[in-house]
Amino acid sequence: MPGFTTRVIHALHDVEKGAVTPPIYPASTFLQPSEGGEGEFEYQRGSNPTRTDAETTLAAVEGSKHAFAFATGMAATGSVLGMLASGDEVIMGLPVYGGNYRWATIELPKRGVTTTFVPDLNQLTEDHFTDSVKMVFLETPTNPTLRVADIRRIADLAHAHGALVVVDNTFLTPYLQRPLELGADLTVQSATKYLGGHGDLLAGVVATNDGDLAATVAQSQVISGGVLSPIDSYRLLQNVKTLGLRLDRQQENTSRIVEALNNHPGVSRVLVPGSFSEDEARIQSEQASGPGAVFAFELADGKDVRKFLAELKVFGFAVSLGGIESLICLPASMTHGAYSAEDRELAQIPDGLLRVAVGIEEAEDLIEDLTRAIDAA
193 assigned to active site? yes
168 assigned to active site? yes
DSSP 236-255: HHHHGGGHHHHHHHHHHHHH
Number of helices followed by number of strands (H, E) in the chain: 14, 12
- Give the alpha-carbon dihedral of 210, 215, 220, 221, to 10 degrees: 100
List the beta bridge partners of residue 327: 316, 357
Please give the Cα distance from 348 to 332 (Å, whole number).
10
Please give the Cα distance from 314 to 357 (Å, whole number).
12
List the beta bridge partners of residue 297: 270, 354
232 assigned to active site? no
Please give the Cα distance from 127 to 2 (Å, whole number).
43
H-only helix segments in the chain? 4-9, 49-62, 73-81, 98-102, 108-110, 151-160, 173-176, 211-224, 230-239, 243-262, 278-287, 305-311, 341-346, 363-376
Taking alpha carbons only, the member of 324, 328, 318, 325 closest to residue 355 is 328
Annotated catalytic residue within 193, 241, 249, 303: 193
Annotated catalytic residue within 45, 102, 256, 372: 45
Please give the Cα distance from 269 to 292 (Å, whole number).
18
- Give the alpha-carbon dihedral of 146, 77, 333, 179, to 10 degrees: 0
Based on the number of CB atoms within 10 Å of its own CB, is 218 exposed (0-12), middle (13-18) or buried (19 or more)?
middle
Q: How many CA atoms lie within 13 A of 267 on its CB side?
A: 20
Annotated catalytic residue within 25, 97, 175, 194: 97
Annotated catalytic residue within 53, 88, 150, 168: 168
375 assigned to active site? no
Please give the Cα distance from 101 to 344 (Å, whole number).
11
Taking alpha carbons only, the member of 138, 129, 135, 122 closest to residue 179 is 138
Preceding omega of 141 cis (within 30 degrees of 0): yes
Please give the Cα distance from 129 to 164 (Å, whole number).
12
Which residues does the annotation mark as catalytic? 45, 97, 168, 193
